[in-house]
Amino acid sequence: MPKGMRYSTLEERREYYEKEFPLKKVAEWFEGRENTVFTMIPGRHTGIVLPEYKDIINNTVVVDDYEDLEGLREYIIQYLPEGVYYDRNLYSDIEACSKCGMEPGDCWNCKYFLGQELAFDLDPENVVCPYHGNIEKKMEKHQGLSFCMYEFKTVRRKTLELHEELSREYTEFRFVYSGRGFHIHVLDREAIKTGKKEREKIAEKWAKKYPIDPWVTSGEMRLIRLPYSLHAMVSRICVPLNLEKIKSFDPRKDRKCFPSFLKV
């Protein structure tokens, strides 16, 4: 892993969510969006979990009954998860949809489903590296989730290139440093309304050229890391960035993505 990136302890997770997690900025991220479902993963990759949640360490905990973002924060502090995500689906009614009886992949046929943010997840592990090989090679060596700066810089460049290509078709973008690579969110109305088949085509097309995770773009994986949450595998804050910032962004140095427990 790049220098300084490491797992966060439970105490560090607590400190971050109690003292720093910026609810106002999270609220800004979701402005104009209602009925968002959140999820948490207690300790699947780090193996670090509160004793009372040992049995659900690998599970995805769904949070859909929070009052407001302060309520979401309370859930996070209760579980101290290694990762927090949100569901990119837009729902007219979460409660009704939770009882709709559809399989997770059938959202497009549910009458409470309004669409899904189109997203591109560019990950360093999907970069073929001259030092560490391709993803299969890395998995073999149990390096599947670690990455190096060669891979990071490639992903950073590819994020900018992919945006340039996408901007011929869409106009409303947001960029996020995910703790590993970058996410591009496309919020144009037509992007959100894109159907399942069309998304599969989009995913297939761009996965050939860019290190994207096709499951995210196709909508099969509809969760995406929550901006301003702590990525506890690397001890970095997942932060929105503007395009100009991405060009030189370095997660080893940029304080914007440092939780205060690292800033001693």
* DSSP summary character for residue 65: -
- Of the pair 79, 112, the CB lying nearest Zn ion is at 112
Distance CA 59, CA 260 (A): 28
Distance CA 119, CA 174 (A): 10
Count of residues binding Zn ion (CB under 5 A)? 10
Under 8 Å between Cβ of 211 and 122: yes
**Stretch of 144-152, 176-184, 192-200, 203-211 lying at the interface with Zn ion (CB under 5 A):** 144-152
- Of the pair 114, 262, the CB lying nearest Zn ion is at 114
How many Cα neighbours within 13 Å face the side chain of 228? 16
CA distances from 230 to 79, 135, 138, 152 (A): 13, 25, 25, 19
Given candidates 8, 151, 158, 233, which one binds Zn ion under the rule CB under 5 A? 151
Q: Does 37 bind Zn ion (CB under 5 A)?
A: no
How many Cα neighbours within 13 Å face the side chain of 18? 11
Given candidates 3, 31, 131, 263, which one binds Zn ion under the rule CB under 5 A? 131
Tell me the closest approach of the beta carbon of residue 117 to Zn ion, in angstroms.
Answer: 17
Tell me the closest approach of the beta carbon of residue 106 to Zn ion, in angstroms.
Answer: 8
Which residues are registered as beta bridge partners of 225?
Answer: 85
Q: Which x/- pattern, by CB under 5 A, does the window 72-101 give for Zn ion?
A: -------------------------x--x-
Q: Does 132 bind Zn ion (CB under 5 A)?
A: yes
b vs e for 107-117, b when ≥16 Cβ sit within 10 Å of the residue's Cβ? bbebebbbbbb
User: Mapping DSSP to helix (H, G, I), strand (E, B) and coil, where does residue 251 land?
Assistant: coil
- Of the pair 181, 227, the CB lying nearest Zn ion is at 181
Q: Does 155 bind Zn ion (CB under 5 A)?
A: no
- Of the pair 27, 128, the CB lying nearest Zn ion is at 128
Instruction: Give the binding site for Zn ion (CB under 5 A).
Output: 97, 100, 102, 110, 129, 131-132, 148, 150-151
